[in-house]
Amino acid sequence: MRRLPGVGIVAAGVVAAMVVMSGCSDGGTSEAGKAGTASAAGTAAASSSPPAAATPEEKFNELVQGTSYYFEGQGTGSSADAMKRYCDLLGEKELDGVSPAQWLAEKELTKQDGETVLEEGVTEFCPAQAKTLKAAVEGTYERWFVDGTYEVGSGAGQMPAGTYRTTGALRECYWERTSRSGKVLDNAFATSAQEVRVTVRSGDGQFTTRSCGSWQPVK
């Protein structure tokens, strides 16, 4: 049989072209697949990243939210901000006429969950006040006495016998010691004074003070 000239060459060229095209097609698909896989892997890694750690303020807010405790004057602010304000107050020499530890003991630790919240707040935001809080919790703070009538004694809310003084720009300061039956044992009225001292005796019944500021034990 007679072979046509050039037919074999043409056929071989067609086959070679198909092989080349096939190779190019496979290579393109492979690179795209690799890119897609890498992109998917990156997205998965990003979505599985752990959430940002809560700040000390967020942790404290969550703690307080789970208790019955409330901060005086907090309003719509956060508990963390209110605690920081308390920290500033604890750095003062006196609060409402009494020592900071006494203020905590008589006004804040008496609230439900007060000790839990304040211990966490002081530890986190003002560790320098840890001693003040400890004294309040243990009752080892110095007691001061403002306007009112106090039974003389060593119990809660009572005024221990001893010598006390009050200082400052005193105006119309009145004090009196009375017996258990209410008889006046001693008293004084100072229209104007800078310092007043009084000794409360163990046999006294009550001590009354008005407009005299804070009576503090004389050490």
Element (H, E) at 78: none
pLDDT in the model for residue 33: 55
CA distance 151 to 93: 26
Domain segments of the chain: what residues? 56-138, 148-217
User: Tens digit of pLDDT for each residue in 53-83?
Assistant: 899 999 999 999 999 999 998 988 999 999 9
CA distance 121 to 127: 9
- Over residues 196-201, mean pLDDT: 98
pLDDT of 197 higher than 70 = yes
pLDDT in the model for residue 58: 96
- Over residues 139-155, mean pLDDT: 95
- DSSP conformation class of 58: H
Q: Do 214 and 97 touch, CB atoms closer than 8 A?
A: yes
